[in-house]
Amino acid sequence: MPPNDTQAVLAMDLDASAGDWTPTPHGVLLAEALAEHPELFEGRDVLELGGGIGNHTIPLVRMGVNRLVTTEILPERSETTRRNVERNCPEATNVEYRVADWLHTDGAFDVVVSNPPFAKSGKRNRRYFIDSLTLDAHKRLRDGGDLIFVQSSMADIEKTTRRLEENGYAVDILKTSEGPFRDYYFEDEAFMEEMKQVEDGFEIRDGTYYERLFVVRARLLPWSPPKGAH
Ligand SMILES: C[S@@+](CC[C@H](N)C(=O)[O-])C[C@H]1O[C@@H](n2cnc3c(N)ncnc32)[C@H](O)[C@@H]1O
């Protein structure tokens, strides 16, 4: 399959079991951004965190990654990723399915890809998974490696950019989109209250709430600790 044919890369037959995450506009935007940049993946070693139903795993395989490790938090979630990849990419022999808690997994990679939990992160700091990427993804990335993920304006894109830069990354936005709130946002009062505190987190136009989505590419700049550092 030609790696620059984005439609072919994104054509997928996906199924989900009870409890699997059904892709939202975040996942759709990330898939499109990945497919528009095959040069970031071809021949590279990739770690995907939270593969879900495989909506990014499959495009990554099709774009010719060298090796792909895709993780999930539970064995049954990981089985869904495997089932969908095996049906859509029956020839693929370079995919490893791991059950792992976020970045607590081994290996050195050229790219880390994720659609991190946010609105339903289940953490006191709702940004926990994004913050964890900014602080610790470097442990899995080779120098010059790329951390690529999607987030909402409500997760504070300015804060993310600042934290990535503080942690040695050069930041680009690969793609953005705007769309109305998901219904489940309104069902979570605490979420709605928190989001009001985020500057430029959302806009209301004609009574409709809109968020903006961003696909972030953060390139880990080479760096060595000074002599004598702990
Ligand atoms: C926002 S969903 C994204 C799923 C899929 N990649 C997509 O974009 O549709 C986040 C995924 O991360 C998984 N997940 C949640 N906590 C995790 C953890 N601690 N470690 C690994 N995966 C986790 C969830 O099961 C879910 O599939």
Res 1 pLDDT > 60: no
Q: How many residues does the chain have?
A: 230
Q: For position 230, what pLDDT does the model report?
A: 86
3-state secondary structure of 162: helix
Distance from C-alpha of 71 to C-alpha of 84, rounded to nearest angstrom: 14
Q: How far is the CA of 202 from the centre of ligand 1 (A)?
A: 23
Q: Please indicate, yes or no, if residue 229 is contained in any of the structural domains.
A: no
87-142 confidence digits (pLDDT tens): 999 999 999 999 999 999 999 999 999 999 999 999 999 999 999 999 999 999 99
Q: Please indicate, yes or no, if residue 195 is contained in any of the structural domains.
A: yes
What stretches of 3-42 show up as alpha helix (H) in DSSP?
A: 6-10, 25-35
3-state secondary structure of 208: strand
Q: Please indicate, yes or no, if residue 81 is contained in any of the structural domains.
A: yes
Q: For position 84, what pLDDT does the model report?
A: 98
Q: pTM to 2 decimals?
A: 0.97
Q: If you average pLDDT over residues 214-227, what whole number do you get?
A: 96
Neighbours of 96 (CB within 10 A): 12
Any atom of ligand 1 within 6 Å of the Cβ of 21:
yes
- Count up the domains in the chain and report the number: 1
**Strand spans (E) along 129-168:** 141-152
Q: Please indicate, yes or no, if residue 228 is contained in any of the structural domains.
A: no
Any atom of ligand 1 within 6 Å of the Cβ of 77:
yes
Q: Please indicate, yes or no, if residue 16 is contained in any of the structural domains.
A: no
Q: Please indicate, yes or no, if residue 15 is contained in any of the structural domains.
A: no
Q: Please indicate, yes or no, if residue 178 is contained in any of the structural domains.
A: yes
Closest CA to ligand 1's atom 16? 73
**CATH at residue 142:** 3.40.50.150
Any atom of ligand 1 within 6 Å of the Cβ of 51:
yes
- Nearest 5°: phi and psi at 153? -55, -30
Any atom of ligand 1 within 6 Å of the Cβ of 38:
no
Closest CA to ligand 1's atom 17? 73
Structure confidence at residue 3 as a pLDDT band (50, 70, 90): very low
| Residue numbers of the domain that contains 146 | 6-10+24-220
Q: Mutate which of 12, 68, 115, 125 to test ligand 1's pocket (most atoms within 8 Å of Cβ)?
A: 115
Distance from C-alpha of 107 to C-alpha of 93, rounded to nearest angstrom: 18
Q: Which residues pair with 111 in a beta bridge?
A: 46, 146
Any atom of ligand 1 within 6 Å of the Cβ of 71:
yes
Any atom of ligand 1 within 6 Å of the Cβ of 59:
no
Q: If you average pLDDT over residues 193-217, what whole number do you get?
A: 97
Q: How far is the CA of 117 from the centre of ligand 1 (A)?
A: 6
Distance from C-alpha of 21 to C-alpha of 11, rounded to nearest angstrom: 19
Position 32, amino acid: E
15-60 confidence digits (pLDDT tens): 999 999 999 999 999 999 999 999 999 999 999 999 999 999 999 9
Whose tokens are 């607590």? That residue is 104
Whose tokens are 């895709």? That residue is 70
